Amino acid sequence: MGITGVLFKQIAIMFLLMFVGAWLYKTKRVSPEGTKSLGNILIYVIMPSVVINAFLTEYSPEKLMGFGIAFLFSLLGLLLAMGVSALLFKKHPIENFGTSFSNAGFLGVPIVSVIFGTEAVFYASSFVALLNILQWTYGVFVITGDKRQISFKKIATNPVVLSLAAGFIIFLLPFEMPEIISGTIGYMAGMNAPVAMFSLGTYLAQVSLSDLLRDKTAYLSAAVRLVVVPVLTALLLCLVPDGYEMLATALIIVAATPVGSNVAIFAQIHNKNYKQAVKSVCLSTVLSIVTMPLVVSFAQWLWQAL
């Protein structure tokens, strides 16, 4: 089975997990307060564990060089997404934020991990960390229109940013982490896919299907997030040096993921259109089961052709 087939299979599994989350919410087995608790577990425990777990690997100059390349192209890819989103959705803050920042951590990383293993997550973690930094700076400004809302303290204490710093230090240390610690981190990292999908499912359960399917703005946002930005990113990744094909594929996967669920969290925090944000997240997530395999196939064809 080629990478497209494996990708489609993994996305289908993610969707089944998401529907379990929707069922749990609909049947009141998970309350709105429970949904927030799931989000807190993801943000403060599971995602940091995923990032640190990716760095529990033996140091080599080649891996360090690869991380530097991944960091550079992650930054360029995110700046590209932000530029396209600002151009198309300048007067629509929810869509501007949503199309700028993908669901790289909660959907992209589990897929990358299953297909390529922790080495690819090591590279993708740079994308996730940069995405979080930009969400708490540029993203907050987009949502609120107020630069005073930007908190550098929040960036410095962001769990993903802290875990990236900790993981990088661990990677450079000349000894292995004790198995009792690495094993604990590994178990927590392994919860990422199911808990993240359960959380997304609770969002899906809060949206009327007819309401979702009739929203033209949500469709436009999804088209930009799932097609326009990833295709442009694939073109950018043509510049990745030879020998780093896995790195490029990991980055196109995380860049091709749907609207990140943080847009709904930020909209709720800042009293913006929370319902519209949830629609953008849900519709793009549903459509991504088709678009992600197609975009990754296109990227691989493009890189081989060039």
For 26-52, the pLDDT digits (tens) are 999 999 888 888 888 988 999 899 989
**For 173-212, what is each residue's pLDDT tens digit?**
888 889 999 999 999 999 988 998 898 889 888 888 777 7
3-class SS at 102?
strand
pLDDT above 70 (res 164): yes
Q: Between 47-54 and 192-205, two packed helices, what is the crossing angle to 10 degrees?
A: 150
Question: What pTM, to 2 d.p., does this model score?
Answer: 0.90
Q: Is 259 helix (H, G, I), strand (E, B) or coil?
A: strand
How many domains, in total, are found in the chain?
Answer: 1
Q: Which of 10, 45, 27 is nearest to 192 (CA)?
A: 45
CB 302 within 8 A of CB 13: no
| 126 within 8 A of 77, measured Cβ to Cβ | no
Output the pLDDT for position 271: 80
Supply the CATH number for residue 300's domain.
1.20.1530
Using 50, 70 and 90 to split pLDDT, how confident is the model at 119? Answer: confident
**Integer Cα distance of 186 and 32 in angstroms:** 29
Q: Tokens at residue 84, please?
A: 């396209």
Place of tokens 């709105």: 32
What would the DSSP string read from start to end of 115-165? HH-HHHHHHHHHHHHHHHHHIIIIIHHHHHS-GGG--HHHHHT-HHHHHHH
Q: Which domain holds residue 33?
A: 3-305
Q: What percent of the chain has pLDDT over 90?
A: 56
